[in-house]
Each structure stands twice: as structure tokens, then as C-alpha cells.
Structure 1
Amino acid sequence: MNAIKNKISGYSQYFVIPIISALIVIVVTQEIFFSIKPLKDLELKYIDARFLNRGRKLVKKSADVVILGISQTDYDQIPNPMNTWPWPRSYFAKVVSHLKDAGVKAVGIDVLMANDDKYSPENDEVLMQAIRASKNVVVAGVLDINAEAQHQNGSYTITDHSYNYRNKFIAADSSIGIVQTGSDEDGIYRRYEPFVISDANKKVLPTFGFAVLNKYFGLKPDAIASIEGDYFVQYGRKIPRYDKSSMLINYYGPSGSFRYFNFTDVLDDEEFKTSDEIYYETDINSWDDPDVGLLKSGIFKNKIVLIGSTLPEDGDLYPVSYSLGIRKGDNLMWGVEIHANAIQNILWNDFLYKQSKLSEIIVIIVLSFLSFLLFSVFKINRRLNPIVSEIFNLALLSLLIFTTYILGLRLFNEDNYIMAFISPVAALVSGYFSTTVYYAMKILKQNAVIKGMFEHYVSKTLVGELLSNPDKLSLGGEKKEITTLFSDIEGFTSISENMEPEELVEFINGYLHIMTEIVLSNNGTLDKYLGDSLMAFWGAPIDVDDQELKACRTAVQMQKKIDELKNNWIKDTKQPIRARIGINSSEVVVGNIGGNERFDYTVMGDGVNLASRLEGANKLYGTSIMISESTYKKVAEYALVRVVDKIIVQGKTEPILVYELLGLKDDADSLDKYKLFDSYIKGHDEYMKRNFEEAKQHFQNSLNKIPDDKLSQIYLERCEEFLLTAPPPDWDGISRLETK
């Protein structure tokens, strides 16, 4: 009996010691128990390290936000005596009006204007009128913050707001945004609050970026984000909460990452004379010059424009997460740029997701157990002397900490996920000391089996091949003749707008499941899903006989299945479902593409790109299944087709002949459908012979049979053009596609 008790007691150490270790780490690292400032500061610095590791994201050309900076250049360009601050408000009115003319969707003026215009009261009225006329302007406001109660109830508390928030232009249309944002305890600006709350009268006000977005999305000026669990919800977006009152800003780079213009670039119209224009006696207006003016460029169309100071003496410069290096001052950013980053995050749904406390605690527990077991491997190995065992364990601890560090960087770079760093490292260190305790207590033998696994999605056929040939999972590739198929749903954007998220996901999952079954039933390899799109190929990893025919049969079966089910789907989609499919056969590279830890068995090359282009070209021609000439040559005796066009796709110089696959000869329904296109086929023959009058008649006959045949309509219009203006003698019927 004692022997049994001793055995149970011995094995219990495997659980008791890691649990105690995990509990200690949880108590020390979680703020619900203690707030240890050095540990908290380290965690915050690791957030900054992630930005430094990731580097700059190039967003200047693609971003929706443009900055008009008030810089020394502007002071130099404004002639005396107006070139001292504050400038006449009429300048801001002119800029607001210009931006409206340029099609800007929202304007945020990050400048406080509490007092009357020092030049003339009329200037204030002019700006008031410009703001009212534009209907898209937000002005900046500030509040007196009670520093001792800065985050009560999950928001700022305000000691007084009986004034106009230090901006008299709130009277224009009540569109004001509070520009104050909270810094962390180390003074770094990592967070952004959607709103602030007054403790005087409980009035809730949007912060500057959110007020600008209210204008952008056409909401009321005082629209406020709601709180649902771990998210702020507004603009159809779920914004992850970093703490009770704020989101984390996903900085795209250092200061200067957004497209930037000087204030006077927009101010300088035909009526305004800059200092340079006066001095050099020129009249080149940066705004409305007919040749080089910004207005003509269209660069502001549908953009958000933020106006703010970029002068050091204004003090609107703050330390942020993104840094160019480790020197002091490398992480400074203008306040207007902080707002720009937050706004762009929301527009792009490009948020940072903080690891939940529950997940963090689970990781602590798991790592406490895992590290305890790992370090025990060397501790219980009697063939190693204690010193060697300790060296191995220290090396392993260093490796695990480094791996945790790299994993945190990788999750941030690839998934915008902020994994806790201090707590897992503490769990690893605690695990190391726990094994020392375990070894001192002479608990002998523990075998730990570490089995690395990775997730990879492949077809059942490919799984069998890889199980038989594991070397297939090594990196590399080979050139093979492959037939590639791309398919997506026509008009999916409008369909998705008519469906609730849950309904949309359910529909897409069902649709892709059916399409995938068709691919696999024809010995195809499913490559990937891209939203509503599907990519598949034939010829790898196992050679497939008649791969081109199987791909074509797959496409025909897909369309037939959609026709069968569209009446069932229409109650959810509110419009008929149609799919566009592109197929091409060519020699491409096939193999495992990716890194050592994660890769995909896929195909790549110009031939794959062409299949994708053909799928997209269906939209231009109104066709459903477009195949290349190389595919058609392999299936000519089985396929029913009509010539679509001889095209040159974007980025290429050689023309290719493309066909619409109407069906297969062994299918009765396809034969009936094919007969309807006899007039089109005759018309195309005459068209290529330059007999445009005869071709026109055939295409008209085709439209009489099939009124919605866009391809017949296209050729009918081409014939009419060529009858008016004959093509040149060397005309070869080639069309160049200008879009992908």
C-alpha cells in the first residue's frame, strides 16, 4: 500500500509543480492582481519593437487620407503682413472650398480657433459659410482633462466644458472632434479613444478621427461607437478594444508616411499671390493651374484631408510606437499624422488585436507545463553530468525565449496580432526553475515527446500522394504541363451587400463545397479559395489523363449545378447566381511554395496568370466559360465552342485566341444550346474576312435569337464602326485588354 502511495505521490509532482509555477506567473504578470511597472513597461516596449521589426508599410498612393501640413514653407509663401499666426480665416475658407471642388469626402481641421479673426470679423463669417456649404468639415476641439481621474469608467473625464471646446466654429454645423488622445504610462502614444465623456453632464463627444469618419460615412456629427464585448462597433466595423476606452493604432510608418501637401499648395489659386509669385512676377498657381494644378490632378477625389501643423514650435509632436531606430526622437510624429493612422486603420479594417487575458492565462499554464517537461528531459538523463545538463537547459531556455520573441514578431507582421511577451517568458523561466526543484526532489524519469505539426490544406488525392512520398513536402518545384481553372461569382459585391454576415458565410461555404466536390470528382487539385473565388488545377501532383477535358467538364458541370440550384439560392442572394470561369493549359512551375514552417502546394507562372485573366475577361464579353487556344486544341473533338476574340492581355505582347466553352458534345443540353449560336459563328467568320455587312446581319440574327448576348452586340457595334471607317489593310482583328 505504501508503495502505491509513493508512486502516486511521485507522479503528482508532474502536475503540482507546473500548476504552482503557473499560478505564480499569473499573479505576478496579470494586472488583476498586481501592476508591476517594470514588467508593464517591458511589455509596452515590445509593442514598439514589433513596429521596428515590421518596418514601413507603403501607403502613400493607396491611403484614403491626405495631409495638408502647415509648415515653414507656408509661412514663407504667404506674403506680408499676413504671414504671422494666426492667418486670416478666409485662407481656411478658401482651402475648404477648394477641397470641396476637388471632391474631398471629409475635411478635418486640426487647428484650434477659439478667438475672433485678428484681421476682420468678416473672415470668420466667410469660414462659417464655407464650412456650412461644404457640409464635410470637422473642426478640432479640446477639453480640460482631470489628470487624477483620466480613465474613470473606461473614458476620459472632463472637469469643465462650459465653453465652445476652444473652437468657435463648432457653431457652423456642430461637427467637432476632440483632439486629445491618451498616452501610456511611459508617455508613448499607442492608443486612440473613439470618444470622451464629460463627468459634468455625461455628454459624449467623438474624438477627432471618429468625428471625421462620421462625415466620411454620412453620419450625424455626434455619432458615437457602441461597445459590444471586446469591440467598439461603428461604420459597419468591429474595432478591437485595447483597454476599456481605446483601440491600438496600427502605425504604417514614421512621420511622413502619408501623402503630404503644403497648406499653400491648395490655397494658391488664380486670386492668391504667393511670395514667390510676387517676387518673381510669375502666375503659376499650384491649385488651379490648367496644366499642373492639383485640382486637375484629381488627387483629392473621395479622399479625407486632414489639416494640421508640422511646425516644431507648435509643439504638436508626440512619441509613438513606430520608430526609425533606438535614438531619442526617432519615434516622434505630428499629431495630425496620429489621427491619419487611426482613420486609415478603420477604413481598411486594419486593426491590431491584443491577446485576451483568458488566452494569455492559458498560454501561461501550457508553457509552464511544457517548459517543465522540456527541461526535465536533460535533468533526468543520467548519462549527462549536472553541469552539462544545466548548460543544455540554459541553451534551451534561451532558444525558447528567442522563439517566443520571433513568434510575437511574426504574428504581428502577418496577422496584426499582439501576443503577450512578458508572461510567456516568465512562464518559461518559471518552468526552468521548476525543473530544478523537480530534480532536487529526485522525481526520476519523465519522457517528453515533442511532436511538431503544421497545418496544410490539400485535396484527398494529394494527401495520399504525400503520405506515400513525404519528400513532396520539401521546398522546390518542377515544370509540368498543367491546366488551371479560376472561378468566381459574378456581381458578388452586390450580393454580399444584400446578406447578413452569417447568411453570407453560410451561402459561400455551401457554394464552395459544391464547386469543390465537382473539382475533386474530376481528379482536380484544389489550390485555394479567395473569397468567393476558387482556383484548381489538373496534372499535379499526379499526372491526369485528358487533364484539359476534365477541366472543361468541371467548368460545364459547375455551370449546370449553379443553374439547378440558383432558384434555391435566390431567396438569400436576392439575385440570380452566375459564375465566371477561365481555363488555360500551359507549362508552369508546380511544387511546395513557402517557408520552412508553412508552405502551399501550388502552381505559378504566366499560364496561371492567363487563366485568371480569362476568368476576368468574361465580364468584358458577357461570357461564362472562357478557355485559351492551348486548351481548346486538346479538347477540340469533344468541346462545343465559339470564338470570342483574339486578345492581348495586359502586360503581354503576343495575341492569343480565346473561346467560350458552350458545352460538350456528349451532352444533349449542350448541343441544343450550341445550335442557338450558329448565326454568331457565321457572323464571326465573315467578320474575320472583312465582310462586315454580311457579318452585321448574322450578328443581328444572333441577337434576335438571344437578345442578351453581349458578345453578339459587341461584334455588331464593331461592324458598324468598320462600315463607317474601314480598318487598315494589315488589320488582324486583335483586341488589347486594358484591365486585368
Structure 2
Amino acid sequence: MGAEPETERLRVIGSRLARSSLSLTRYVAKAGPGLITALLLLILQLLQPPFVAGISDLVFDTYQRAYPRPYEDAGVRVVDIDDESIRRLGQWPWPRTDAARLTDALTNAGAAAIAFDIVFSEPDRTSPARAVEILRQNPEARGDYSEIAALTDHDELLGQAMERGPTVTGYFLTGEANNVRPKEHAGVAVSGSSPLGVFTEYNGAIVSLPMIGDRASGAGSVSLEAGRDHIIRSVPLIANLDGRIVPSLSLEALRVAQGAGAILVRSTDGSGESGRRGLPEVVAVKTGELQIPTTGIGELSMYYTAPHPERIVPAWRILQGDLSEGEMQRLFQGQIVFIGTGAQGLRDLRSTPINAVELGVVIHAQAAEQMILGRFLTRPDWAVGVERTLMVVLCLLIALSAPALGALRGGVLAMLALGGVLAGSWFAFRNSGLLLEPIFPALGVVSVYIAITAVSFYREERARSHIHNAFDRYLSPELVDRIARDPGQLELGGEVRQMTVLFSDVRGFSRISERFGPQELIGFLINLLTPMTDVLLARKATIDKYIGDAVLAFWNAPLDDPDHEQNAAYAALEMLETLKRLNADSDRDPAWPGQVAIGIGLNTGPCCVGNMGSRQRLSYSLIGDTVNLASRLESLTKYYGVSILVGEDLAAQLASFALVELDIIRVVGRDAPERVFSLAGPPEMATTSAFIASQTRMAAMLAAYRSRDWAGAEAELAHLRGPDTIAGLESVLAIYSRRIADYREAPPPDDWDGISQALEK
């Protein structure tokens, strides 16, 4: 009898397990159509068929129409040879003398660059010698018109005007091979492997006559390639002409306007990335101070404004003197001017997401505006991974939840997910200019829900039919438990530590860049940054990153460093000593650009440090106000004329070092004022009588200055200018002399607290 209860208990447990197994099987069967649909969509997303790109284009076109780029005056103008200009000045083509007058007028008005979306490829038929040939063929002609024939050729006059101004000529790229090539006015350097393999190769060009084009300051391609639907969504900034990288008209205009040298093309492996096609792709293009993110084939994704007449000036107003000298300067001084044809019959008409009929010259102008303003549409390299992950997560969520939720509540969940995808894509575009495709995540949500709902509906219909045919047998559906699944997204971030941060930058790097070619410039940076890095590493620093000529380093992570403040101070001083040695050897090194100077900002405080970035790519880095302040301090070294600036918290930890208080300043982007110090030398210097005297007088001067004792402050300044004062304070003393003179002239308000305000980052 004792065994019967135990047998019954085991039977009950077995029955429950069997029912659970059956429920799970049925649950998986209901979710199966959604899971299969998700798998098919994942395969489709990996294949990236062309029709998906077309749908994505339409979505982003809609975004642009809903929120065009707000128009801002970026210093770009368009001179339009419009219908009224043709009516007033005669039929096209105009004599080249008109183009020369237009060029001279814009040059005299102070235009920074004059770019022609016109190709002067044929000789001017109205030139004197050619006109005389026509006249001599007239039976009624008298004389040989030799005086007229001796006049200067119109093409020559235009070439002379081109030479006088900051001009850029345009040329067309063609697939038909020829031997005509534009003059190379500036080199193109590549950081990383050459990305030519991803470009369409052009084998010919249509260029302006040499006497015109060769005298200009630059030349750029005016060729624009539309998509399959004839809409221009991107502009090529660079192109492949017979294995040579050539710039676009807008990029070359920016180069000329800045007076820049070579154009720098950064490829994927030069940026620590990998091309998606197995070949090096373009990441960014740089000219002068402007760095422009591009697509993998070197195109700028266009973000158009709505039509704005403010940027366009009709050509006749310039050529017929309708604009006064003052108006000309107001409109064109310091501007990049694009000249194009908008008259009927001459129109270079294109379609954009914003405007079905747009002038090609306006597209070039808008490209230049974007590059100047930094208003870009970018599709980052992590976008595909995010979209793929989001699609899989949402498909799994709908596939596993909808069977338990039922059609109505599952539909609500699907609508919320769909709305979230579309809203996320829109806000990424609206607020950050990111092109995140909603197509596959949205398609996944809708398709999985439809698949599950359709299969469920089919099964229910079959069940109803079976019940109708066998009403005496009714089988109630099994109930299934709801399964909540966490997608388990990777959580990025790190830990908060007390850290010391160093930010270093080369003074006058733009000037150095102009003197050197790309390879020489890279060699100089290697020769400079290598010994600087040796110093930092010897002092236990972690190198965060190199930003061109700048270095960001930090202490006390990932390994603990109880002396991180002192190590950072010693490292900064040793960097200056290393630079002195490099400068001393500059006479023997032709690759060294004379006397090089650096500025260093040091700060200490709490930072968040750890693996940061995206799910595709992480880097060990740090963020926080401490880092931002270190960067601001480095920038302020230029203002105060000192080499090393130290924040207040770090100065408190470096009491034994030779520190001189310079000011209390409120930096850009930070409300709290900061007391800043110059790190003049190591502890050995801090004990010398000369330094102590200078430090004491500087403190006395600051006390007098902050208490409005101008006479007392000036007296201390006079002593500080003596021969025993420590070197490096000359600019600081000059700053306070100017401030005191200004305050004598216009006293500060009663609530003045002696705090200065930095005007630049």
C-alpha cells in the first residue's frame, strides 16, 4: 500500500512534464513562422538588393523635404547668368571679355574664390582676329582691318583676369578616352592606402583652354552623377581620372578660398577602419581647416536647403554696374562665388530631394555651404550593424511575444515597435544628421507580425472547420505561458577614477602644413610625436589618441598610479626639454620646420574611463569635465603666451613645483571659474630666490589688480619686468598692462570679481 502514493505522485509529475513539453512545442510552432520570416529578412539584409537602397533613398528624401537644412549665410554666393542677363547683354555665349569683366569685378570686390560652373573649352569666336576673318569674307569689306586683328585675343584677356583673381575653372569628366587633362594646381595626398579601386575611372576630360585654365588658381570637376531616378543625393568631392585623384569644383573652391596646399584624402585603413568591399574606401577629405566626412567612394551626402534667393545675384547687375562699390563688397567680400547659367536653353537643370528643377551651380554652392558649416548627413560605419541588430531583436520580440499576446495586443506591440523605429530614424536625422535606415527593422516588425497573424488565422480557420465537421468533439486550445526575453544589449562604459589629463598641441601647425608636402608633414609629425610619446610612456602615461598634431594622454588608469599628478607635471616639463633638443638640432635636419613650439594643458579630477564606442568598435578612453578643461587650458596657453597651463585642483597637488598663478578665468562651455597656473619648472626651480621673488610679486600684482588698486598693480608689473623675473611671463604681463589701461579708461562695474572670460575654446 505504501508504494501506491509514491507511484501516483510520479504519475502526476510525468503528466505535468508531458503537458509542459506539449505546450512548449505548440508555442514554438506558433512562433516558427515569425522566426523563419526573421531569418529570411536577415539574409535579404545581408544581400542588400538594389530595391532596398531605392526605398531608403525615398525615406531620406522625405526627411529632407520635411526638414530641409536651415539656410545660414556660409559665405557662399551664386552669380546666375539668367534670362534677364541674356536679354540685357546679348545671346550666349558671351564674348570672353564679359567673363573677364565679371571676374575682375568680383576680384576687386574681395571675393575669396571665384568658381566657374562653365567650361571655356572652345576659342571665343568674337575675338578680334576671328572677327576680322569673318569681316574680310564680306564682299563689301573695305581694308584689311589689321588694327582690329592686332587687338588682344579675348581668351587671353580672360586668362589675364583669371590670373589676377582667386579663380577656379570647371571641367567635365568623360568615359571617352582623350589626352586632354586639367592642370594640377595642388596635390592630393592619401592617408592610408589609395582608394582608387572603389571609384569609377574616367579616361577623358573636357577642360578650358590652357590660356584660361592654366592661369586660374585651381580647377575642379563639375560632373554630377544622378541616381537611377535622376535625383542627385550626393556630390563627388574627388574622382579617378586615369589613376589620378582630382577634386570637385566645390572642394577646389574651398581650397583656393583658404589658400590651402594639398588636399588630404583619408582612407579606411589610414583611419584604423576596414573597407566594406574588401578595398580601401574613403572616410574623409580635408582641405585647409575643413575636414569633410564622405561616403566610401568619396561623395558628400547632400543636405539641401529650401530655395533661398539670398544666395543668388543675377550677372547683369554686376556687369551693368547696377551694384555700387559698397554693395559689391557687402555681397562678395570674403565670399566663395560660383558662376553658372540659369537662362532658358542654357540651364544645367538637375533634380534634388527638395527641388525637382534645380540649377547645377546651386548644387555646387550648397555642397560648399555644407562643408563650411559642418552640416553633414553621414552614414557611420556602425549603422549597418545597429540596423541589423535592431531588426533581429525586434523580429525575435514580435515572434516570441505575439503568439502569447494574441492578435490585438500583439498588433499594439508591433505598432509601438514600428513607431519607435521610424521615430528613432527621424530623430537621428533631425538632430544629428545620421542616416539610419528604418527599412529592415520596420519591415521585420511588420513582416513577422503579419506572418504570425496569418498563420495563426489559418490555423484557427482550420480548427473552426474541424469543429464544424465534428461538433460532437471539441478540443479546447492549450494555454501557453508568456516568455519574457531580455535582448541583452551590450552595455558600454567604464568606471569613475581620479585622473590627471594632459592635452598637447603644436603651435602654428597650419603654417607648418603649408610649408611641407603631405609626406614631409607626416615625417615631421613622426619625428615630433615619437620622442614625446617616449617621454609620456616613461612617466607612466596612457596615450589615449593622436588628433593630427595633438596628443591626449592620462594617468591613473588602467593601472593605479598614486603619483599621477607629479608624473604628469614631470612629463610636461620633459616634453618641453625634448622639444628644445629637437629645435637645437633643426639646422642639421631639413625635415624640421625651424623653431617648433607646443602648448600643454594639465588638469586633474574625476573621469569616466573604460571601453567606449560602439558595439562594432571599442576603444579604451575617458570622458568628463576634467578632460574638457584640460583641452581648454591647452588652448589658453596661446593667449597667455606660456607653454604649460595647470588647473586649480592639480596645482593644489603640485605644491613643490614652480607654479605661478596667472588668472581666474571662466572658459567657454563651463560656468564655474577656474584659477589657472603656469608650470614654470620642477621642484628644484621652486626653491630658487629668483623664482620665489617673481612668484611673490606676481601674487602681489594679482591681489592689487583684483582689489582695483591699479597703481599698485602697475608698480608690481614694473618690478616683474626686471632682469631677474622668470622667463615666459612676458605675454601675461602685457595682458595685465592692457587690462589695467582699459580699466583706468572704463572702470569695471561694482560687482566685478576679477574673473576673466575666455572668448574662444
TM range (shorter): 0.5 to 0.7
- Segments of structure 1 that go 5 or more residues without pairing to the other structure are 147-151, 275-284, 324-329, 463-484, 518-530, 536-552, 585-599
Deviations 1:313-332 (A, max 9, x none): 643333212x3xxxxxx554
- 2:78–2:311: 8 Å Cα contact kept in structure 1? yes
- Quick check: 1:403 aligned with 2:403? no
Structure 2: distance between partners of 1:7 and 1:693: 90
Code of the residue aligned with 2:78 in structure 1: it is I
Alignment counterpart, residue 95 of structure 2, candidates 70, 88, 94 = 88
Return the offset for 1:189: 1.3
Code of the residue aligned with 2:427 in structure 1: it is R
Alignment counterpart, residue 395 of structure 2, candidates 357, 371, 380 = 371
Structure 2 CA distance for partners of 1:494 and 1:555, relative to 1, 3 Å? farther
- Quick check: 1:450 aligned with 2:518? no
Code of the residue aligned with 1:562 in structure 2: it is A
Code of the residue aligned with 1:52 in structure 2: it is R
Code of the residue aligned with 1:407 in structure 2: it is G
Structure 2: distance between partners of 1:659 and 1:206: 45
Structure 1: distance between partners of 2:261 and 2:598: 36
- 1:487–1:579: 8 Å Cα contact kept in structure 2? yes
Secondary structure of 2:302's partner?
coil
Q: Which residue of 2 aligns with 1:128?
A: 159
Shifted more, 130-139 versus 678-687: the winner is 678-687
Return the offset for 1:447: 1.7
Deviations 1:168-204 (A, max 9, x none): 9557569654433122222211132356678xx9998
Q: Which residue of 2 aligns with 1:579?
A: 600
- Give 1:133-212 correspondences, 5 Å limit: 133-134=164-165, 136-141=167-172, 155=200, 169-170=212-213, 177-194=220-237, 207-210=248-251, 212=253
Q: Which residue of 2 aligns with 1:460?
A: 496
- 1:249–1:345: 8 Å Cα contact kept in structure 2? no
- 2:27–2:480: 8 Å Cα contact kept in structure 1? no
Structure 2 CA distance for partners of 1:164 and 1:138, relative to 1, 3 Å? closer
Q: Which residue of 1 aligns with 2:730?
A: 710
- Quick check: 1:230 aligned with 2:281? yes
Return the offset for 1:126: 0.8
- Quick check: 1:621 aligned with 2:640? yes
Return the offset for 1:336: 1.0
Instruction: Percent identity, please.
Output: 16
Structure 2: distance between partners of 1:252 and 1:446: 48
Return the offset for 1:258: 7.8
- 1:699–1:712: 8 Å Cα contact kept in structure 2? no
Structure 2 CA distance for partners of 1:27 and 1:125, relative to 1, 3 Å? same
Q: Which residue of 2 aligns with 1:316?
A: 348
- 1:249–1:352: 8 Å Cα contact kept in structure 2? yes
- Give 1:394-543 correspondences, 5 Å limit: 394-436=411-453, 447-450=483-486, 460=496, 488-489=503-504, 491=506, 494=509
- 1:643–1:657: 8 Å Cα contact kept in structure 2? no
Alignment counterpart, residue 104 of structure 2, candidates 89, 97, 113 = 97
- 1:486–1:611: 8 Å Cα contact kept in structure 2? yes
Shifted more, 400-409 versus 425-434: the winner is 425-434
Return the offset for 1:44: 1.6
Structure 2: distance between partners of 1:567 and 1:663: 12
Code of the residue aligned with 1:305 in structure 2: it is V
Q: Which residue of 2 aligns with 1:55?
A: 68
- 1:644–1:711: 8 Å Cα contact kept in structure 2? no
- 2:171–2:220: 8 Å Cα contact kept in structure 1? yes
- 2:535–2:574: 8 Å Cα contact kept in structure 1? no
Structure 2 CA distance for partners of 1:681 and 1:71, relative to 1, 3 Å? same
Structure 2: distance between partners of 1:171 and 1:612: 44
Secondary structure of 1:411's partner?
helix
Code of the residue aligned with 1:309 in structure 2: it is T
Structure 2 CA distance for partners of 1:411 and 1:694, relative to 1, 3 Å? closer
Deviations 1:692-722 (A, max 9, x none): 9955651232x43323322564279669x98
Secondary structure of 1:704's partner?
coil
| Alignment root-mean-square deviation, CA | 6.5
- Segments of structure 2 that go 5 or more residues without pairing to the other structure are 1-16, 132-152, 178-196, 269-278, 460-477, 514-520, 543-549, 555-562, 584-591, 606-621
Q: Which residue of 2 aligns with 1:254?
A: 306
Return the offset for 1:352: 3.8
Return the offset for 1:167: 11
- 2:232–2:352: 8 Å Cα contact kept in structure 1? yes
Structure 2 CA distance for partners of 1:663 and 1:248, relative to 1, 3 Å? closer
Return the offset for 1:229: 2.6
Structure 2 CA distance for partners of 1:514 and 1:447, relative to 1, 3 Å? farther
- 1:372–1:435: 8 Å Cα contact kept in structure 2? no
Return the offset for 1:534: 11
- Give 1:593-632 correspondences, 5 Å limit: 619-622=638-641, 625=645
Return the offset for 1:210: 4.9
Deviations 1:3-31 (A, max 9, x none): 99999988986997566424533566676
Return the offset for 1:621: 3.1
- 1:174–1:221: 8 Å Cα contact kept in structure 2? no
Return the offset for 1:127: 0.5
Structure 1: distance between partners of 2:539 and 2:62: 45
- 1:250–1:342: 8 Å Cα contact kept in structure 2? yes
Q: Which residue of 1 aligns with 2:41?
A: 25
Return the offset for 1:137: 2.3
Code of the residue aligned with 2:77 in structure 1: it is V
Structure 1: distance between partners of 2:494 and 2:386: 30
Count of paired positions? 607
Q: Which residue of 1 aligns with 2:295?
A: 241
Q: Which residue of 1 aligns with 2:191?
A: none
Structure 2: distance between partners of 1:261 and 1:567: 56
- 1:364–1:427: 8 Å Cα contact kept in structure 2? no
Shifted more, 496-505 versus 366-375: the winner is 496-505
Secondary structure of 2:721's partner?
helix
Structure 1: distance between partners of 2:285 and 2:113: 17
Deviations 1:123-180 (A, max 9, x none): 332112222444742134475899xxxxx9963878x87x767999557569654433
Return the offset for 1:399: 1.9
Structure 2 CA distance for partners of 1:571 and 1:46, relative to 1, 3 Å? farther
